[in-house]
């Protein structure tokens, strides 16, 4: 019979092997997540849960061709970006359209046309990894802040833009990026439609949905894997964050609710710094993708530090669905916000 030392050694070998297997699985899950999450040139399938039922305004006539001009510019960290500036015939406020994750600005042309018809200049642009901009990895937040800073500078520099009258109209990821961005002298306000408060909560939800879909057809003993979905979800995010930091040398998880505090504290410390712009926060109460609690937390963060914020909630069940719920009221709110 084997002695106790032999048994202990065997157990240690088995334990080490199991640890290596578990570690390999964890790294594989993290690698897959990073590859798919940051992959450039991807557009969300309208039939995917990640679409969230999103609907855009019906097609509206765009301004004449001579009022549109293409713009090529560089992000604050050097990435090449592309966009379009739609100029009014006279000096006016400019709205920068800040699009959603894996939804390039081409989806937002009807939004842009609607707001142009109400008298504003429009600047549409693609974030990195989207549309016509540089096909480099996306982050759904932190890296895109550099892109938005550059877009604001381009919009503010157009001759038709009224001084210090740039507004950002962000949707989903684009709304979160607008809140993450440090205050810019030209930005007079942020319209944030359906932003997240913390990216890690969004990622956990998405990963869990993917695991649920991929294991839904399992039968027999294999179906027990579904019980591991919560654990696998957290392992995937943890290893993904480590791999992302190692590969791209930046944090993955964006935290807009923390940014609100940080920007106000920075403004307090530096008397010459501009105050963070007011926010018009819009959210569907039954948003299937970004729960309304994200908006509540952002609003509470703003109130705690005295940052001006208006809230508008609708009973819509669609992601970014507040416009579709009541288009007239939505546009009236925007017009009042810009006029103020």
Q: What is the DSSP string of 318-338?
A: STT-HHHH-HHHHHHHHHHHH
Q: Which of 255, 248, 312, 253 is nearest to 279 (CA)?
A: 312
Q: Which of 146, 97, 165, 155 is nearest to 126 (CA)?
A: 97
In the 8-state DSSP scheme, what is residue 128? T
Residue 100 has pLDDT above 90, yes or no: yes
- The reported pTM is 0.89
Q: What is the mean pLDDT of residues 186-201?
A: 97
How far apart, in Å, do the first and last CA atoms of the chain sit?
87
Q: Which CATH class is domain 60-198+254-339?
A: alpha beta
Per-residue confidence band for 9, with pLDDT thresholds at 50, 70 and 90: very low
Residue 8 has pLDDT above 90, yes or no: no
Angle between helices 256-269 and 173-180 (to 10 degrees): 20
Q: Which of 24-38, 96-110, 296-310 has the lowest mean pLDDT?
A: 24-38
Residue 210 has pLDDT above 90, yes or no: no
Q: What is the mean pLDDT of residues 186-198?
A: 98
Of 67-71, 222-226, 247-251, the range with the highest mean pLDDT is: 67-71
Q: Which pair of structure tokens corresponds to residue 18?
A: 């199991």
Per-residue confidence band for 11, with pLDDT thresholds at 50, 70 and 90: very low
Of 26-30, 57-61, 336-340, the range with the highest mean pLDDT is: 336-340
Residue 329 has pLDDT above 60, yes or no: yes
Of 53-67, 211-225, 309-323, the range with the highest mean pLDDT is: 309-323
For the chain, give every domain's residue range: 7-37+199-248, 60-198+254-339
pLDDT at residue 3, rounded to an integer: 55
pLDDT at residue 44, rounded to an integer: 87
């Amino acid at each position: 019979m084997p002695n106790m030392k032999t048994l202990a050694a065997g157990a240690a070998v088995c334990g080490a092997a199991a640890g290596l297997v578990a570690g390999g699985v964890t790294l594989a899950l993290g690698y897959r997540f990073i590859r798919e999450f940051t992959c450039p040139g991807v557009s969300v399938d309208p039939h995917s849960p990640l679409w969230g039922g999103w609907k855009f305004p019906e097609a509206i006539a765009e301004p004449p061709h001579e009022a549109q001009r293409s713009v090529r510019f560089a992000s604050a960290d050097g990435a090449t970006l592309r966009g379009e500036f739609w100029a009014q015939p006279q000096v006016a406020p400019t709205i920068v359209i800040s699009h959603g994750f894996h939804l390039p600005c081409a989806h937002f042309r009807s939004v842009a046309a609607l707001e142009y018809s109400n008298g504003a200049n429009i600047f549409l642009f693609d974030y990195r990894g989207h549309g016509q901009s540089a096909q480099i990895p996306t982050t759904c937040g932190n890296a895109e802040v550099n892109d938005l800073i550059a877009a604001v500078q381009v919009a503010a520099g157009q001759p038709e833009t009224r001084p210090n009258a740039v507004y950002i109209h962000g949707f989903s990821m684009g709304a979160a990026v607008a809140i993450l961005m440090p205050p810019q002298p030209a930005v007079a306000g942020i319209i944030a439609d359906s932003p997240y408060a913390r990216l890690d909560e969004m990622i956990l939800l998405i990963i869990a949905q993917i695991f649920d879909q991929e294991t839904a057809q399992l039968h027999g003993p294999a179906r027990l894997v579904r019980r591991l979905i919560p654990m696998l979800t957290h392992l995937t995010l943890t290893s993904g964050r480590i791999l992302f930091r190692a590969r791209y040398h930046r944090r993955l998880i964006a935290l807009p609710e923390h940014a609100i505090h940080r920007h106000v504290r920075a403004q307090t410390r530096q008397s010459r710094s501009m105050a963070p712009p007011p926010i018009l926060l819009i959210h569907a109460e039954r948003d299937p993708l970004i729960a309304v609690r994200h908006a509540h937390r952002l609003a509470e963060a703003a109130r705690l530090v005295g940052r001006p914020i208006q809230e508008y909630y609708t009973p819509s069940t669609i992601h970014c669905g507040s416009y579709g719920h009541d288009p007239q009221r939505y546009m009236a709110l925007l017009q009042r916000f810009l006029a103020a």
